[in-house]
């Protein structure tokens, strides 16, 4: 039998999706599953985006430009300008989701064996993208006791070697919901300038900032023109996860011209999805105001309910729609499977994402889970009630 590549063998499973078979089995047995495991918003997609696909008059569904249509990128640049990010259409490459944007970025700036420093816990697929590119993730640990704030700059400097090519952050963070302050972004700016590194910022949750806090983009900082790379996506902003349209944004012309070659190799992003994404840019501010208000209320509901459970520690997120909770169990991989496979309360159970998959340091996050508060407040309360009952049963 032909052998599988070492790269293929070392590709990590998704901590978010690997439990799906157990959830599906529970549903077939008549158990309702509350999904707290995946960042799929239940907020309606803006009608203007759906109508752009429904009402179009395309007769030949042709290729788009490899970097995305000029009209979309110009309109996107105007959107960024309204967020104090001054770029042109030529600074933007449309991609098939933020995932492809990250793959193109890593492919453009690293060679096999190079290193990227990432504060952990981090979005699980960063591990997968790096493995696919033959790149090593070097983690710098942030702690739940500090609400997952940026680790000390000294911790970063200790890890920088001749193989280090970039620091990658997610802001606001997935899975932590942490929102980096202006001071923290400035510290990162200084370290990448000092060591001549790229600063990659995954900013797909930009709109989701709570408590009156402001999102601070790496693209808004002067002096980082050749160092800053922003990853973005329509998935969360407009509740359009299935559109699979993201983008790379950078003022570094050499980098952009390199990334375009990767874009040309896959031909183009999907035409219908580009149409929907362009139309979505006409979404009124009132849509975002309502969405942010709803998510802030959901966050408050979730955190207050979780804090009532004995032995549970939870970080208080300032952005995105995730939080990390530390549970009074030794292994949340085992617990998350058990709660689907062997437990229900009144024919209902919950699905959470074990947090160990959001770390690359062996043994970290074993007693933590990521919870996505993408359910309405009533369902969130019921989910936490089930979680508490399950924890009591699991201990026995």
Instruction: Tell me the pLDDT tens digit for each residue of 237-272.
Output: 999 999 999 999 999 999 999 999 999 999 999 999
Does domain 47-280 fall under CATH 3.40.640.10? My reply is yes
Structure tokens at 309: 């459970």
pLDDT score at 41: 86
Instruction: Tell me the pLDDT tens digit for each residue of 184-231.
Output: 999 999 999 999 999 999 999 999 999 999 999 999 999 999 999 999
Domain boundaries, the chain: 6-44+286-395, 47-280
Quick one: DSSP state of residue 266?
T
Question: What is the pairing mode between strands 136-141 and 368-372?
Answer: unpaired
The yes-or-no answer to whether 6-44+286-395 and 47-280 have a common fold is: no
Instruction: Tell me the pLDDT tens digit for each residue of 26-73.
Output: 999 999 999 999 888 889 999 999 999 999 999 999 999 999 999 999
- For residues 343-360, average pLDDT: 95
In the chain, where do the E strands start and end? Answer: 32-35, 92-95, 115-120, 136-141, 164-170, 198-202, 228-233, 246-249, 313-314, 322-326, 348-351, 353-354, 368-372
Phi, psi (5° rounding) for residue 315? -80, 150
- For residues 161-172, average pLDDT: 98
Domain 6-44+286-395 adopts which CATH fold? 3.90.1150
Signed CA dihedral, 238, 241, 247, 249: sign only: positive
Instruction: Tell me the pLDDT tens digit for each residue of 369-382.
Output: 999 999 999 999 99
Q: Please state the pTM of the whole predicted model.
A: 0.96
């Amino acid at each position: 039998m032909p052998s599988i590549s070492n790269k293929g063998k070392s590709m990590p499973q998704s901590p978010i999706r690997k439990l799906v078979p157990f959830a599906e089995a529970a549903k077939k047995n008549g158990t309702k599953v509350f999904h707290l495991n995946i960042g799929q918003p239940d907020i309606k997609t803006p009608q203007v985006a759906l109508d752009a696909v429904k009402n179009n008059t395309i007769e030949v569904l042709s290729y788009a430009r490899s970097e995305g249509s000029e009209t979309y990128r110009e309109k996107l640049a105007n959107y960024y300008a309204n967020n104090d990010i001054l770029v042109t259409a030529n600074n933007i490459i449309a991609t098939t989701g933020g995932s492809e944007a990250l793959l193109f970025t890593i492919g453009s700036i690293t060679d096999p064996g190079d290193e990227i420093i990432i504060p952990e816990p981090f979005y699980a697929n960063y591990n997968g993208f790096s493995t696919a590119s033959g790149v090593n993730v070097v983690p710098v640990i942030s702690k739940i006791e500090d609400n997952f704030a940026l680790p000390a700059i000294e911790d970063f400097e200790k890890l920088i070697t001749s193989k280090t090519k970039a620091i990658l952050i997610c802001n606001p963070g997935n899975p932590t919901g942490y929102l980096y302050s202006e001071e923290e972004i400035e510290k990162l700016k200084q370290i990448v300038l000092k060591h001549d590194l790229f600063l990659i910022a995954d900013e797909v949750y930009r709109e989701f900032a709570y408590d009156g806090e402001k999102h601070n983009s790496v693209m808004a900082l002067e002096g980082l023109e050749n160092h800053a790379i922003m990853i973005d996506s329509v998935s969360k902003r407009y509740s359009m996860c299935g559109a699979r349209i993201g983008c790379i944004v950078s003022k570094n012309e050499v980098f952009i011209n390199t990334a375009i070659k990767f874009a040309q190799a896959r031909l183009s992003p999907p035409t219908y999805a580009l149409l929907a994404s362009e139309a979505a840019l006409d979404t009124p501010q009132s849509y975002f105001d309502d969405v942010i208000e709803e998510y802030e209320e959901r966050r408050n509901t979730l955190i207050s309910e979780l804090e009532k459970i004995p032995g549970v520690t939870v970080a208080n997120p300032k952005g995105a729609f995730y939080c990390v909770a530390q549970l009074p169990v030794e292994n949340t991989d085992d617990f998350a499977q058990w709660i689907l496979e062997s437990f229900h309360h009144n024919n209902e159970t919950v699905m959470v994402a074990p947090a160990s998959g959001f770390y690359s340091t062996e043994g970290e996050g074993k007693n933590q889970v990521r919870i996505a508060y993408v359910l309405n407040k009533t369902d969130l309360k019921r989910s936490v009630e089930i979680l508490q009952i399950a924890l009591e049963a699991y201990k026995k």
